[in-house]
Amino acid sequence: MNFEHTEDRRMLADTLNRYVAEQYNFETRMAIVASPKGFSTQRWATFAELGVIGALFDEAHGGYGGAGFDIAVVFEALGRGLVVEPFLASAILAGSAVVHAGSDEQQALLADLIDGATVATLAHGEPESHHELARVQTTATRTAEGWVLDGNKAVVPVGDQAQVLIVSARTSGQVNDDQGISLFIVPADVAGLSQRGYPTIDGGRAAEVHLKQVKLPAGALLGAEGQGLATLEHAIGRGVLALCAESLGAMEVAKQATIEYLQTRKQFGVPIGSFQALQHRMADLLLEIEQARSAVINAAAALDSTDRITRERALSAAKYSIGRIGTLVAEECIQLHGGIGMTWELPLSHYAKRLVMIDHQLGDEDHHLARYIALGQA
């Protein structure tokens, strides 16, 4: 099988990598992180103008990409620059849910997502969900006018900045049932919805979202009532691939920075990279990163497979591998840098934090290993 990127994807990668390298340096990124919003609306608009957001959607929905390798190309470049704009929350998680289940009227939202005019997010995780997609305690009760939502959502990415939230709620069944989960398009300014936003340790933003007697019209239901789990699996599967590719980009930068340090830092009058013990550790790290790249390629190739088991096992295998290898890269690169590796002023420490935190987004290493095994027994 030929895994070489198409000419369009190579051009996209070159454009995005050049923009990140020249216009989104470490100092710029840290200034954006320190801002009250946590991301730059100006940069977000620029990414939209460059076509980066559109590359994450297919032509039928206003984009020009949307395949697994399009996601991988974009997010690997974003990972190289530790970009904090809401690609994952808005374009991947919320956007994919609307693409998968939205009516023609609801899919009109996609145009605003692609041009950067609207930021959306997926509010699905709950304080006791433990990464399990089907564990939903938030409730949605049908009324004569529409729906009433009650519940709490945890660690919602950019949940305090998004104008639209895609909220999962249980319309029937028990808390862990696959059936009975519905999705709703909820404006952030609706009465009864409140958010408590906060910065995350890796430079992003998240929020706790509380819904108390939130009244929605009947048209807020996204997809068929009680059939939201398939849409969640679709959106979060794309999110898993995006995170894996982002981690790969961050690993490459951390690796290169460590190689440069080993070639310049001297002890006993020679570069420490000439020490055999450090060479062996670096060689092991390079092999692990190539293993991570193979896992991302496999997941990207499987993303559009019609065989659910094949697709979901490839995604869980990649997330497991990325979680393990990303943590290893973070630890080894810091250790090979010595004491300077943990300083705030050194970009490496921020790459290390992001690599570790990616493991805990959309299911950690342990969760995806267990899921991979369970899917093999299905």
d(CA 315, CA 317): 5
Chain region(s) in the chain for CATH 1.20.140.10: 230-376
168 closest CA partner among 235, 104, 117:
235
User: Which residues, listed in sequence order, are joined to residue 156 by a DSSP beta bridge?
Assistant: 207
Start-end of CATH 1.10.540.10 domains in the chain: 7-114
Taking only the tens place, the pLDDT of each residue in 304-326 is 999 999 999 999 999 999 999 99
What was the pLDDT predicted at 1? 55
- The pLDDT of residue 6 is 83
Distance set, CA 300 to CA 293, 321, 329 (Å): 11, 14, 22
In order of 107, 170, 348, the CA distances from 227 in angstroms are: 18, 10, 43
Q: What percent of the chain stands above pLDDT 90?
A: 90
Residue 364 one-letter amino acid: D
The amino acid present at 29, given as its one-letter code, is R
Superfamily designation of domain 230-376? Butyryl-CoA Dehydrogenase, subunit A, domain 3 (1.20.140.10)
What the block records as the tokens of 336 is 């090979």
**The CATH number fitting domain 7-114, selected from 1.10.540.10, 1.10.240.10, 3.30.1490.20, 3.30.420.10:** 1.10.540.10
- With b for 16 or more beta-carbon neighbours within 10 A and e for fewer, the 160-186 pattern comes to bbbebbbbbbbbeeeeeeeebbbbbbb
**Residue numbers of the chain with a pLDDT score lower than 50:** none
Domain with CATH 2.40.110.10 in the chain: 120-227
Q: In this predicted structure, what is the pLDDT of residue 73?
A: 96
Nearest to 70 by CA among 139, 148, 9, 124: 9
Residue 164 has a pLDDT of 98
Rounded-to-integer distance, Cα 301 and Cα 69, Å: 7
Q: Which CATH architecture has domain 120-227?
A: Beta Barrel (2.40)
